[in-house]
Amino acid sequence: MQIVNIHEAKTHLSRLLEAVEQGKEVVIARAGQPIALLSAYQPRCKIAPPGSMEGKIWMADDFDDSIDDLFDCLADNDHAPPAGQ
């Protein structure tokens, strides 16, 4: 990582941008104190607007039905394994 002062950054901006294009990062400092980081641009991930997936996702008709009786089969003690197994 290269550290440059503000005057050098202004004077050699093109050279610093070339370094950034090669994958390097440059710290710009004032009186030896870092104040900014010059790095390659990373485009943000696009977030789909609400409703843009309409018609592309399918859910079962019983999606919001109650699941209270879903585990009734586990309450049946006739089929439970013997104790200790």
What is the per-residue pLDDT for 80? 58
Backbone CA torsion sign across 37, 43, 49, 55: negative
Please, what are the domains in the chain? 2-38 (3.40.1620)
Residue, of 10 and 82, whose pLDDT is higher: 10
Distance, in Å, from the CA atom of 45 to the CA atom of 63, rounded to the nearest integer, reads: 30
Average of pLDDT values for 29-38?
Answer: 95
What is the per-residue pLDDT for 44? 87
Distance, in Å, from the CA atom of 82 to the CA atom of 85, rounded to the nearest integer, reads: 6
pLDDT digits (tens, 9 = 90+) for 37-72: 999 998 888 888 898 888 888 888 888 888 887 777
Which residues have CB under 8 Å from 44's CB, separation 6+? none
pTM over 0.75? The answer is no
pLDDT digits (tens, 9 = 90+) for 68-80: 877 777 776 655 5
